[in-house]
Amino acid sequence: MANGDMLEDMEFESRLTELGDDQPALIKFVAREQYSVSKILISHEKRITKVEKANKKVFGIVGIVSAGFATVVIAIIDYFVRRT
């Protein structure tokens, strides 16, 4: 775990303990945290979509190459089996 993550976790825990049993404050705190997380996700949506598309392209290319390679191997084996 990165050092910054540990500090953020400690700050988060200390804020929660400071709030205690105050339900309205806890609800507001959770709403703020969820809002900040959703803002981060929305801002990274384009990057995530690009990475997913790149992964699909890579898997497609790998699939095509492996299918071509398998076809060549099968053709060579078939050629030598029928020849004898």
Interatomic CA distance for residues 37 and 29, integer angstroms: 12
The answer, as to whether pTM is greater than 0.85, is no
Q: What is the pLDDT of residue 69?
A: 95
DSSP state of 22: -
24-83 pLDDT, tens digit per residue, is 888 888 888 889 888 888 888 888 888 888 888 889 999 999 999 999 999 999 999 987
Q: Which tens digits make up the pLDDT trace of 40-54?
A: 888 888 888 888 888
